[in-house]
Chain A
Amino acid sequence: MDQAFSAAGLRYLAPEIALLLVAALSMFVHLFFRKRGQRLAGYATLAGFALTAVILALTRTSRGEIFSGSLTVDPFSLYFKWIFLVSGALAVFLSFRFFNIEKSEPGEIYYLLPLTLIGMMASASSVDLISSYVAFELFAIPSYVLAGIFKKERRSAEAGIKYFFLGTLSSGIMLLGMALVFGLSGETRYAAIAQSLAGANSPIALTGMILFFVGLFFKAAFVPFHMWAPDVYEGAPTPLVVFLSTAPKAAVFAILIRLMVTVFGRFEVQWSLVFQVLALLTMFWGNIAALIQKNIKRLMAYSSIAHAGYIAIGLAAWGEPARAAVLFYLAVYVVMNAAAFGMILLRRKNGTFGEEVEDMRGLAGTSPLAAACLLVLLLSLTGIPPTAGFMGKYFLFAAAIEKKMYILAAAGALNSVISLFYYFRIGRAMFMEEPSPGPAASYRRPAGVETFLALAALVLLLWGILPALLADAAAASVLAK
């Protein structure tokens, strides 16, 4: 116990500590530079993220425990920390553009984001009920604020409130589950709980697991726990949706996977069944509901729900190929979703960003590069080669088939076809329809957004053509027992 807080152990916490310093610095910059404080705070945060990336790159090979074994640093958690960091950096980058044009920049986001990241990173590392819950709340609470931070927009406030209520409800349910598990085992460490549960075949443990999971399912927006997602994503400021729709979900998957593997390994049959049902519900409902959306943010919200469903296929078919497939798909999902919401920053009408599918009309004529990049993105979202989305789905379906879950794989494939219909409504608008007369038009060339989309498209193509680049990293980061 005396070594718990040793300097050697703290070295594993370097990324989190760096982010804490970044948050503090950003906050002071924001407060003390009256004139351009917001923007400077943003630059400070971005620079801090770059520094954190360097630290993460250096801690790549280490593996160890901190705080008497309540946090662990392993390749699995590092993989997720990269995802969180990239997602956060994208949000900061797009925020510059967005709030600059909207002419009201809430500087708070630039220190709330690093705080959120600390919580996510800690939750990916947590192997203890208490640290897990604390970490979970640490990223959940600032994210409610982020959703509601755009005061100009009434929908944003509504989104913040909705997110908050559903979020606390889910935390409550999760806490109840934790209480049951703790009550039964008398332990908080995951490994110890697993040992103590090993013999007991108790329905209470199973109930505990289900409640614990349900709390997480809310955050992952699995159907039927998804109702908040479209409203929140529609209302929250777009660059922050890029973050809110990706990183918290990834964090939840990190917690889920660790729980599945370490604590509830003996309930594999049960949770596999749960995930099968969830995958079917989530894919079908997400995709079918997306069919009737006209607002791109809502459409992509349902699409991101559906993508969580595809990932659930991998959780249901947990095993040798599925472990890496889920990690692969999560990384691809983050890039795809970031670009999917980022596309909204391309067009402007009547003093707001063009959020409707119609607003994309004629994009191929006005900015062919952006249209080409979005085409790659749409192909990837649908799962058509040669894009990363296809490779991700291929790995997931292959994993399901390896476990003889043929129906699940076929349902996933069928859902790709359904999703084609709504994704290519955007493709159709971009390439085949004339711009509607009047409002929606590209505002002065959104170079930053185009660069962002081009990068995303490039990454999606690269991972689609040379999937080993990502697949090897994913395979090296799997969480085995």
Chain B
Amino acid sequence: MTLFGIPVLTFITFFPLVGGLALLFLPRVRRGAVKLVAVVVTGLEFLATLFLLTGFDAASGDMQFVERAQWIPSFHVQYLMGIDGISLLLILLTSLLTFLAALSSWEAIRDRLKEYYLFLLLLEVGMIGVFVSLDLILFYVFWEVMLVPMYFLIGIWGGERKLYAAIKFFLYTLFGSVMMLIGILVLYSHYHTFDLTAMLQAGSLLPLALQTWVFLAFFLGFAIKVPIFPFHTWLPDAHVEAPTAGSVILAGVLLKMGAYGFIRFSLPLFPEASRKCAPWIVALALISIVYGALVSLMQKDMKKLIAYSSVSHMGFVILGLFTFSPLAVKGAVLQMINHGISTGALFLIVGIVYERRHTRLIADFGGLSSRMPVYAAVFLIMAMSSIGLPGLNGFIGEFMILMGTWTVNGVWTAIAATGIILGAGYMLWLYQRVMFGKLVDPANQSLKDLTVREFATFLPLIVLAFWIGIMPKPFLDVLDKPVENVIRIVAPGYYKKQTATKGTAPAMGEIQSVPPEERLGLSHLRNEVR
């Protein structure tokens, strides 16, 4: 499939770059034009990613829209792109959140606009690139490219301790990624290709001991990104200091990359090591859930509270992934999207009052609902979405994860469930302290409610929160096959057991008799989209 004659994945990856280069030619003083171009480019990019839906086949578990070309022939590095349902959802989330981030920066960013939007667009290139790459080196290139604009977004437009937060973010994540690079190179020395699909086809070639080491190298890269306790210490600093748009993207997309890395690379490439390490990782995930929630409870700064709540929420995602039950894994992927929506929105919400009052301390607010009723409603919806109220998106994801985990281990489920209770606690308490009570501080008397532009940034997120909450089927449908592909590799016993004990639909039996490459979702290798 092509867009304006350019293969569609290449188009959506590099379109923001073209937009960014266009920005460079605008005179610095034309501030309005700079903002407009940035918003239009990110908007068009969102439309371009929506265009993917027209050609996407949800019933297929294969990689779609595959593009393949030689890049560094002597080292077998390819320019290989392709997406499945998991990447599709994350791409849509990325382009939507970047668009909203650009929109929300309209008033908030006042100096060095050109550079700001340029970095935002470069960031989008890196993020989309990560989700479409199927060659490990290509993936790695995008993975690292993304760090640089984020570093500058935090470091230039951030808060008081921006310099410290920016370099801390950069150092932590770079450390994780270079370890992953070593892992990738070890994989290459056994497979002699960086092509993920070819690696999966070849099966696991690494001896278990080495596989565990390589798994751990990847784990460092992804766990720091997610972040899983105890690798989370960069996150509160980065989140608190980043400008609103930076926090939205950081929480909404960047954290997902770690989880995406687990499901796309770690689980299928290192099935034995994944199974071996799963209990440990689940333990860390459970600690993240409870610890993140407890720390959130006692935060004085709204942004920091939401930052720590991300640690807790991402703990759920990791828990879901490492139970290897299709239900929980699907829930985890959906929860990635949900977290992007709700936490992205919550950071925008904090940004709204920060822009007006230049403080984020909970104690400085109170009784805002009387002055800002629309704002209060939006905040309420998103807080509920974050808590996991039935009817909203958060509930579906968390419920699926807990259900899936229950089939594996009851104790894990019980511990994770306390995270939900604590989550309701810190979120409702936050809402109460900021929104209800008496409006004491005179500075809050004159607060304006949401403008139309601001409300417009929230609208898509609210729609999505309800949509996923009420009718999650279209979202889950695209996840069915890709998740099944992963589970068949990492937990091959799962489907066999199910067919044996429950004798479910004959379709299962049919799948079993299909040749292995079909089952792994690799049939596209034979009939690629050209």
Instruction: Indicate whether A and B interact.
Output: yes
Residues of A within 8 A of B72 (CB): 391, 467-468, 471
The interface residues of chain A lying within 8 Å CB-to-CB of B137 are 394
Residues of the A chain whose Cβ atoms lie less than 8 Å from the Cβ of B163: 428, 432
Of all chain B residues, the one with the shortest Cβ separation from A391 is: B72
B175 partner residues in chain A, CB cutoff 8 A:
414, 417
What is the bound-complex CA distance between A421 and B73, given in angstroms? 33
Residues of B within 8 A of A383 (CB): 178
8 Å CB contact of B182 from A382, A385, A401: A401
Do A431 and B174 have beta carbons less than 8 Å apart? no
Q: Is A390 an interface residue (CB 8 A)?
A: yes
Contact of A385 among B73, B75, B144 (CB under 8 A): B144
Contact B171 A475, beta carbon cutoff 8 Å = no
Closest to B217 in A: A410
- B167 with A421: CB separation less than 8 A: yes
Known: A386-B145, A410-B179. A431 touches B155 (CB 8 A): yes
The verdict on B449 contacting chain A, using a C-beta distance below 8 Å, is no
Is A384 in the interface zone, CB < 8 Å from B? Answer: yes
A386 and B141 contact, CB distance less than 8 A: yes
Partner of A424, one of B162, B170, B178, B213: B170
Chain A residues within an 8 Å CB radius of B156: 431-432
Q: Judge whether B517 is part of the interface by a CB distance below 8 angstroms.
A: no
Asked if B185 and A398 sit within 8 Å, CB to CB, the answer is yes
Mark out the residues of chain B between 159 and 182 whose CB falls within 8 Å of any chain A CB in the assembled complex: 162-163, 166-167, 170-171, 174-175, 178-179, 181-182
Q: B167: which A residues are within 8 A, CB to CB?
A: 421, 424, 428
Residue A395 at the chain B interface, CB threshold 8 Å: yes
Smallest CB–CB gap between A432 and chain B, Å? 5
Is B222 close to A, CB under 8 A? Answer: no
Task: Tell me, in angstroms, the Cα distance from A364 to B115 when the chains sit together.
Answer: 10
Contacts of B185 in A (CB 8 A): 394, 397-398, 401, 409
Q: How far is the CA of A416 from the CA of B178 in the complex (A)?
A: 8
Q: Say whether A413 faces chain B, with CB atoms less than 8 Å apart.
A: yes
A472 located at the interface, meaning its Cβ lies under 8 Å from any Cβ of chain B in the complex = yes
**Residues A420 and B189 in contact, CB atoms below 8 Å apart:** no
A443 within 8 A of B: no
Q: Decide yes or no: A413 and B181 within 8 Å by CB, A384-B144, A394-B137, A471-B74 being known contacts.
A: yes
The answer, yes or no, to whether B188 is at the interface (CB within 8 Å) is yes
B155 lies within 8 A of A385 (CB): no
Q: Report the minimum CB–CB distance from A14 to chain B (whole Å).
A: 31
Is the CB of B294 closer than 8 A to any CB of chain A? no
A406 touching B178, Cβ below 8 Å:
no
The answer to whether A468 touches B73 (Cβ under 8 A) is yes
- Whether B267 is near chain A, meaning CB under 8 Å from some CB there, is no
Chain A residues, Cβ within 8 Å of B141: 385-386, 390
Residue from the list A384, A397, A401, A432 in contact with B147, Cβ < 8 A? A384
Residue ID in chain B nearest A379 by CB atoms? B148
Interface: B140 (CB within 8 A)? yes
Contact check: which of A375, A386, A394, A424 meets B181 at CB < 8 Å?
A: A394
Q: Which residues of A contact B270 (CB under 8 A)?
A: none
Q: Who on chain B is nearest to A417 by CB?
A: B175
Report A381-408 CB contacts with B as 1/0, cut-off 8 Å: 0111110001100110110011010100
CB-contact partner of B179 in A402, A413, A421, under 8 A: A413
A288 CB to closest chain B CB, in angstroms? 14
CB distance from B129 to the nearest CB of A (A): 10
- How many residues from B make CB contacts under 8 Å with A? 33
Among residues of A, the one whose C-beta sits closest to the C-beta of B213 is: A406
Chain A residues with Cβ below 8 Å from B151 are: 424
Q: A409-B185, A432-B162 are in contact. Are A385 and B145 (CB under 8 A)?
A: yes
Which residue of A324, A375, A468, A471 has the most chain B CB atoms within 10 A of its CB atom? A468
Q: Which residues of the other chain, A, contact B140 by a CB distance below 8 angstroms? A: 385
B152 at interface, CB cutoff 8 A: yes
Q: Are A431 and B148 in contact (CB under 8 A)?
A: no
- Max chain A CB contacts within 10 Å: which of B74, B140, B178, B186? B178
Asked if A420 contacts B181 (CB within 8 A), the reply is no
CB distance from B127 to the nearest CB of A (A): 15
Q: A432 near B155 (CB under 8 angstroms)?
A: yes
From residue 352 to 387 of chain A, which have CB atoms closer than 8 A to chain B?
A: 364, 375, 379, 382-386
A475 to B74 alpha-carbon distance, docked (Å) = 9
CB < 8 Å neighbour of A420 from B171, B179, B213: B171
What is the CB-to-nearest-CB distance from B382 to chain A, in angstroms, rounded to a whole number?
A: 32
Q: How far is the CA of A404 from the CA of B141 in the complex (A)?
A: 23
* Contact of A401 with B174 in the complex, beta carbons under 8 Å: no
Shortest beta-carbon distance, A402 to chain B, in Å?
A: 5
Cα distance A386–B129 in the bound complex, in angstroms: 13
Interfacial chain B residues near A406, Cβ < 8 Å: 182, 186, 213
**Nearest CB in chain A: distance from B184 CB, A:** 9
Contact A420 B174 (CB under 8 A): yes
Which of the residues B73, B162, B189 comes within 8 Å of A401, measured between beta carbons? B189
Bound complex: CA A395 to CA B148 (Å): 22
Complex-state Cα separation, A420 to B172, whole angstroms: 11
Q: Which residues of A contact B181 (CB under 8 A)?
A: 394, 397, 413
A residues less than 8 Å from B162 (CB atoms):
432
Which residues between 200 and 253 of chain B lie within 8 Å of chain A, taking CB atoms? 213
A382 to B170 alpha-carbon distance, docked (Å): 12
**B186 / chain A contacts, CB cutoff of 8 Å:** 401, 406
Report yes or no: B178 in contact with A413, Cβ–Cβ below 8 A. yes
Q: Let me know if B179 and A384 touch, CB within 8 A.
A: no
User: What are the residues of chain B within 8 A of A417 when measuring CB–CB?
Assistant: 171, 174-175, 178
Nearest to A399 among chain B residues (CB) is B185
Residue of A nearest to B167 (CB): A424
Q: Which residues of A contact B166 (CB under 8 A)?
A: 428, 432
Which residue on chain A has the smallest CB distance to residue B138? Answer: A385
> Quick one: CB contact mask for A243-286 with B, threshold 8 Å, 1 for yes?
00000000000000000000000000000000000000000000
**Docked CA distance A324–B74 (Å):** 10
- A265 CA to B175 CA in the complex, in Å? 36
User: With the chains together, A428 CA to B179 CA distance in Å?
Assistant: 25
Q: How far does the Cβ of B139 sit from chain A's closest Cβ, in whole Å?
A: 11
Cα–Cα, bound, A382→B177 (Å)? 13
CA distance A205 to B231 in the complex (A): 51
Are A410 and B152 touching (Cβ within 8 A)? Answer: no
Q: How far is the CB of B178 from chain A (nearest CB, A)?
A: 4
User: Which residue on chain B has the smallest CB distance to residue A433?
Assistant: B163
Please name the residue on chain A nearest to B155 by beta carbon.
A432
Docked CA distance A471–B75 (Å): 10
- 6 extra interchain contacts, Cβ-Cβ under 8 A, other than A401-B189, A421-B171, A431-B155? A398-B75, A424-B170, A428-B167, A431-B152, A468-B74, A471-B75
Counting from the closest, the 7 A-B pairs by CB-CB distance are: A413-B178, A385-B141, A401-B185, A417-B175, A432-B155, A398-B185, A401-B189
A residues sitting closer than 8 Å to B (CB atoms) are: 321, 324, 364, 375, 379, 382-386, 390-391, 394-395, 397-398, 401-402, 404, 406, 409-410, 413-414, 416-417, 420-421, 424, 428, 431-432, 467-468, 471-472, 475
Some 16 contacts from A to B, beta carbons below 8 A apart, are: A364-B115, A384-B145, A385-B144, A386-B141, A401-B189, A410-B179, A413-B179, A416-B178, A417-B174, A417-B175, A424-B167, A428-B155, A432-B156, A432-B162, A471-B72, A475-B74
